[in-house]
Chains A and B, each alone.
Chain A
Amino acid sequence: MLVCYGGIVIGKMKLGNLLRDWRMIILIVVLLMTIIAIKPMPWNKGIEVVKVNQKELLEQGMSSGEIIKSINGKEIENLKDFNVELGNKIEITTNKGNYAYLGTELDVVVKDVDKSKIKKGLDLAGGTRVLLKPKEKVTEQQMDNLNAIMKTRLDVYGLSDLNIRKANDLSGNKFLLVEISGATKEEVKELIGQQGKFEAKIGDEVVFVGEKEDIRNVCKDDGSCSGVSQCNIVDNGQQCRFQFQVTLSNDAAKKHAEVTSKLEANESNGEYLSKKIDFYLDNELVDSLFIGADLKGVETTDILISGPGLGSTRDEAIKDALMNMNKLQTILMVGSLPFELEIVKMDSISPRLGMEFFKNIFLVGGLAILGVALVIFVRYRKFKIVIPIIVTMISEIFIIIGVAAFIGWRLDLAAIAGILASVGTGVDDQIVITDEVMSGETAYDWKEKLKKAFFIIFVAYFGTVVAMLPLWNAGAGLVRGFALTTIIGVTIGVFITRPAFASMIEKLLKD
């Protein structure tokens, strides 16, 4: 009885001592901060709108970021619920309001709502990645400018779940990396890659261009001044036309009057003028329209811009036309990019592949930790050593993920590899500490022993950090995630978890 009691007291004392050690206190505080940074919210329900393609919903003002709570009265908790039977009438309730329209289709890109602040990178969440390189030499400032315009352009187009960042390589080349979830590659290729220099010409004379000084307003997502009409059968399918209204500045309107006043009436059809107005995007003809004879010499500010959409069926052609219209509207609203770009790399990852990777990581991580535990147990035969090592490993993983969530870094496969790498180095260091403090009989004291262990750890630490530094920029920064998480991981290890581990092992082994 007494022995038993004594044992408990010793246990409690040990734990009490441990919790009073500043090294443990720091670890516990950091772990608590990690929980705040990750902010787990498992109770969040619903699905988030990534992009609205449905015309009716656009017109009613639904935008990306809204959370769908129910469709046709059925509560929506996750992506599985999204495949509801649609009748002839669709009613949607989101956190921002209610939407309803007559129709049988619901074309909205969605994803599950975030259940924490952890952001998944492209190869885990699915999406499109584009690496762009300027065709000419540009300055850092021009790159900043490009970055801002690109962000606005994608945002106006209706894509907000994106990650844009500048990157340099070791040879001084500049790149822009754009990662977008929930958009198809075909859709964004032109939107991102095109400089977007728009010109409206009559003959050889430019009437107006697609920049702020000529275009005051663009009608977008408003059925009264934009839309798709006139579908007809062409060679290999159907063609539909879109049109939308733009408001020109007074100067541009004057220019229109001046150019049209020189034109004659069309010889074969007197209703129109002799020359057409041609719309060019990056020097390629988008469309060409007859100009009504009544517009001759008139200072008009309202102009209709049009273009085609193609598809094998009528529905596809309408969809294509809507997409083209949205692109052109976006380009006209935001203006062109400051210089020409080249798409040097383009990846699209299916959400399904991302999901497979994500599920797999937990399995791999868990088994690897068990494997390490087994090796440690075989060597030392003491749970007193195995348990602190596992606790340290898991704390480390947790804190790295927390830091990533805090700085808004997206965890992709490269980052996961970095986490595994730094935890691996961590285990190495813990073994060094354990052996150093267990090399029992010799005279020098605990502090001395730990000091020796930490010399080895610090040299190894700097060795790893400097080996990772060149990866920050190499290869346009595509492996930056790997370098970043490794550096964060080993740093956390050396300054936070290793001291705490030393404290644990010291207290547990001292008697």
Chain B
Amino acid sequence: MDKEELYKKHYKKLFVIPIILLLLSIIFIYNFNNKHGDIVNKDISLKGGITATVYVENVNTNELEVFLDSKFNDILIRRLSEFGSGKDIGFIIEAGDIDEKELRSVLEEKVGKISDENFSVEKTGSSLGKSFYKEMLKAVLFAFLLMAAVVFIAFRTFIPSMAVVSAALLDIIITLAIVDLIGVKISVAGIAAFMLLIGYSIDTDILLTTRMLKRKEGELFDRMIGAIKTGLTMTAATMVALSIAFIFSNSLILKQMFLIILIGLLIDIISTYFMNAGVLWWYCNRKNEAR
């Protein structure tokens, strides 16, 4: 009972945390947009350019970077190392508008022969990159609206449905701010990860809403605690799996997707239990009083 009393007294204070996080995120994203001209830091697949992966062992990437900087502008280089041994196995180059053949011949000066066997390259035209970006934003918007429709149809009550949808929106906005903050360059796959986050985000909210709203047995507080226990187990299982996948995966595409969902799930704990749970608590009690 003590716990319930404590919660009753203070649950509204818990709202402060997600709201502050949301405000900070919006301010950050606003500034980010002013500074960079967009709300996300786009990678080559969304703004056009070349990504080249070269498998040549033991190349001094620092030296190579200085060399490439003198030849091209706007070029980025990353070391690739084998998992486990940490052995150098190659490097990845990202660049805006440069000619692939030119890049290849300049690279050959430094690292020796490059063939199709040890050279991978992805090239996206800048207009296509831009259209991809617009398309993916549209897709996120559609996904969000469709999800909202599903939630409203399932629960048919305004406030609880709104709470689920708001929690998902909060997850997306705060996650985006964090992703921008830590300097991740988002790819097409990264935006797809945001869409998946929508799906993951509502799982725990639906669980909570169903248990608190649609059940009759037991006390409301116990039902809420039960739902939180189940929900946290779910989130813990997914987060452990994602963390492992993030650490051990050697694909940058997958790593980025895992990272975005991981951050999103962490935020989802706050939005679900500090905000959505409180809204439902308030809603159920108000309804009971009205009776």
Contact = CB atoms under 8 A, between A and B. Distances in A.
**Physical interaction between A and B:** yes
B80 to A, nearest CB: 9
Given A170-B139, A452-B215, A374 B240 contact: yes
Given A367-B248, A463-B147, A468 B195 contact: yes
Contacts of A351: 117
Interface stretch (A1-9, A191-199, A411-419): A411-419
A420 interface: yes
Interface string B238-262: 1011111100111101100100010
B238 A467 contact: no
Interface stretch (B3-11, B59-67, B120-128, B273-281): B120-128
B230 A425 contact: no
A474 B136 contact: yes
A431 B233 contact: yes
Contacts of A368: 241-242, 244-245
A482 interface: yes
A30 to B, nearest CB: 23
Nearest to B143: A467
Interface string B214-244: 1101100000001001100110111011111
Contact of B251 (A352, A413, A452, A460): A413
Contacts of A353: 53, 55, 120
A425 B199 contact: yes
Given A356-B250, A379-B233, A466 B147 contact: yes
A459 B203 CA distance: 8
B210 A455 contact: yes
Nearest to B253: A413
A425 B251 contact: no
A22 interface: no
A372 interface: yes
Contact of A459 (B136, B140, B154): B154
A464 B199 contact: yes
Contact of B229 (A185, A424, A435, A476): A435
A157 B214 CA distance: 64
B199 A431 contact: no
Contacts of A407: none
A379 B121 CA distance: 46
Given A413-B253, A464-B199, A475-B132, A428 B147 contact: no
Given A169-B135, A184-B116, A364-B249, A371 B244 contact: yes
Contacts of A371: 237, 240-241, 243-244
A73 to B, nearest CB: 27
Contacts of A363: 83, 248
A427 interface: yes
A203 interface: no
Interface stretch (A85-93, A292-300, A342-350): A342-350
B146 interface: yes
Contacts of A376: 233, 237
Contacts of B140: 470
Contacts of A225: none
Category for how many chain A residues contact B: 35 or more
A473 to B, nearest CB: 8
Chain B contact surface mostly: helix
B241 to A, nearest CB: 4
Nearest to B250: A360
Nearest to B193: A417
A432 interface: yes
A467 B147 contact: yes
Contacts of A401: none
A462 interface: yes
Given A368-B245, A371-B244, A459-B206, A357 B251 contact: yes
B123 A347 contact: yes
A43 interface: no
A233 interface: no
Contact of A360 (B83, B118, B151): B83
Contact of A347 (B121, B136, B192, B234): B121
Contact of A474 (B135, B210, B237): B135
A379 B127 CA distance: 51
B202 interface: yes
A84 B79 CA distance: 34
Interface in B162-209: 188-189, 192, 195-196, 198-200, 202-203, 206-207
Given A344-B125, A344-B128, A452-B210, A469 B150 contact: no
A424 B242 contact: yes
B202 A460 contact: yes
Q: Which of the listed residues B128, B146, B214, B236 has the most CB atoms from chain A within 10 Å of its own CB? A: B128
Contacts of A467: 143-144, 146-147, 195-196, 198-199
Q: Which of the listed residues B120, B154, B196, B200 has the most CB atoms from chain A within 10 Å of its own CB? A: B196
B131 A171 contact: yes
15 contacts: A170-B139, A171-B131, A345-B122, A347-B120, A351-B117, A353-B55, A364-B254, A367-B244, A376-B233, A416-B254, A428-B203, A455-B214, A456-B206, A456-B207, A459-B151
Given A416-B254, A459-B151, 12 more contacts: A133-B128, A350-B53, A367-B248, A371-B237, A413-B254, A463-B202, A464-B199, A466-B143, A466-B147, A474-B135, A474-B138, A475-B135
Interface of A: 131, 133, 169-171, 173, 184-185, 343-353, 356-357, 360, 363-364, 367-372, 374-376, 379, 413-414, 416-417, 420-421, 424-425, 427-428, 431-432, 435, 439, 442-444, 452, 455-456, 459-460, 462-464, 466-471, 474-476, 478-479, 482-483, 486
